[in-house]
Amino acid sequence: MGSIKKELASQFRSLSVALTISMSVVFSVFAGVITGYYLDTWLFNGRTYPWLTIICLFFGIAGGAKNFLVLTKRFTKEPGEKKGKDQPGAHTPGR
């Protein structure tokens, strides 16, 4: 019975990691588009439409890619693995 619970907990953990990463990417892109649309329509009264929306879309995509890389690295670490700065010999002063 314990192995079934462990397997189910592992599957839910994997699902939560996948949902966290995907929501982070999607929300970054949406935030970029909404910001660009707001700048185009309300701030500049539509004079720059759609250029700021497109520019902010690319910023959102770049932010989503960055979030994807950071979260993927964070969630794929082994539980006992330390950060690079904490490991002995990772930083040698004077070099």
Q: Are 33 and 71 in contact (CB under 8 A)?
A: no
- pTM assigned to the model: 0.71
* pLDDT for the residue numbered 88: 53
Could you tell me the CA-to-CA distances from 91 to 56, 78, 80, 88, 95 in Å, in that order? 37, 21, 20, 8, 9
- Tens digits of per-residue pLDDT, 5-45? 888 888 898 899 899 999 999 999 999 999 999 999 988 88
Please provide the size of the chain in residues: 95
